[in-house]
Amino acid sequence: MQISKEDLLDLSVIQMTSETNSLLDSTLESKSYDYEMLLEKLKNELSKFGLTSNQSKVFLFLEKYGPSTATQVSKTLKVPRTETYHLLTHLQNKGIVSATFQHPIKFSALALDKAMGVLINTEKERVKTLENQEKGLVDLWNTIPNFKIDQNDAKEGKFQMLQGVNQMTGKINEMISKTKNELLILGSEKDFMKFYHSGFLELITDSKIEAKLITSSSKKTTYIFDQKLKTKVKKTPSKIKENLCFIIKDDNELLLFMKNVSESPQNVIAMWTDSTSMIYTMQLLFGYIWSNSRHLQ
C-alpha cells in the first residue's frame, strides 16, 4: 500500500500538533505547580496574621477571582458548603471580606495590602487591650492569699514546650534581655538569618553581655553580623549537622529547637528548661564544638 505525499503531510501536521499540545500541557502543568507553591507560601505567611489555612484559601480566592457566591466558593475550593459559610462569616468579622445585599449574596475581599493593614491594626488593638488589663489582673490576683505549704523546697528542674513564632520570639527576647553574664547560641545559617530579621543579633550587639555564637553561615550571609559581634562568632565544623539549634543563658536556662517538624511558623516547636543537668550537658556540647571551630573570615 502506497502512502501519498498528501497523507505524509497530514501525518506530519498531526504529529507536530500532538507534540505542540504535549509541550503546552507540560508548560501549563509546570505553571500550575508554580502557582500552587506560591499559594501555599502565601497561606503560610497569612497564618502569621491569624488566618487558618481554609480562611486564607477563601480570602485569596475572592481576592483573585472577585465577587463570588458561597456556592461558587464551595464548589471551586471543594470545601463543604456549611464550612464555607462559617469561613466567610469569620472573614467578615475580621473586616477583610464584605457581602452584598443582592440575592444570591456575593462576597468580595479587600485588596491584599489593605487586608494586611486591617489585620495588623486589629492585632495592635488586641495587644493594647491586654496591656491595659495587665495591672488590674495582677492586683486582683495579689488579693488572694497564698496557700503554698512549703516555700523552702529544693528547686526542681522545669520544662516548657513552646510552639509558633510569636511564643519563640517572646522567649528569646526575654532570655537575651535577662542575660547577666554569658549567652551561647548554636544554629544553622537559616536559623541565624531568622535571628537577624527578628532583631536578636542587634539586641546582643547593643548589650554588654558576653556572647559566643556558632553558625554555618556562608560568606554570602556574614553581613548579618556587626563588626563588633563578628569577633564572637565561629564557623560550625562541616561534620556538625544543620538540624542542631539551641540557646543557653547564664548557666540557668536552655532553649532547644526541635528541627524534625514542619517549617510552618505555626508548627515550629522548641523546649525551654532550667534543668541543671540538661544545661550542663548542652554546655559541654557547645564547648566541644566551639573548640573545634574557627572564627569567621
| Mean pLDDT, the chain, whole residue set | 81
- If asked whether residues 225 and 164 sit together in one domain, one would say yes
Question: Residue 255 belongs to a domain with what CATH number?
Answer: 3.30.870.10
Q: Which domain holds residue 196?
A: 159-295
- If asked whether residues 103 and 198 sit together in one domain, one would say no
| Exposed/middle/buried for residue 265 (C-beta within 10 Å: 0-12, 13-18, 19+) | middle
- If asked whether residues 214 and 286 sit together in one domain, one would say yes
Phi, psi of 31 (to 5 degrees): -60, -45
- pLDDT of the residue at 13: 45
- If asked whether residues 104 and 166 sit together in one domain, one would say no
The residue among 52, 77, 111 that closes a domain is 111
The residue among 55, 87, 111 that closes a domain is 111
240 found inside a domain: yes
131 found inside a domain: no
- If asked whether residues 165 and 76 sit together in one domain, one would say no
Q: Which of 100-104, 171-175, 281-285 has the lowest mean pLDDT?
A: 100-104
Q: Distance between CA atoms of 228 and 239, rounded to whole angstroms? A: 28
Task: Tell me which DSSP letter residue 151 carries.
Answer: T
Phi, psi of 184 (to 5 degrees): -115, 130
Whole-model pTM? 0.55
66 found inside a domain: yes
pLDDT at residue 105 above 60? yes
The set of residues, in sequence order, having a beta carbon less than 8 Å from that of 32 and lying 6+ positions away, is none
Tens-place pLDDT, residues 173-219: 899 989 998 999 999 888 898 888 888 888 888 887 889 999 988 88
Tens-place pLDDT, residues 232-271: 999 988 887 778 899 999 989 999 998 654 455 556 788 9
Q: How many domains in the chain? A: 2
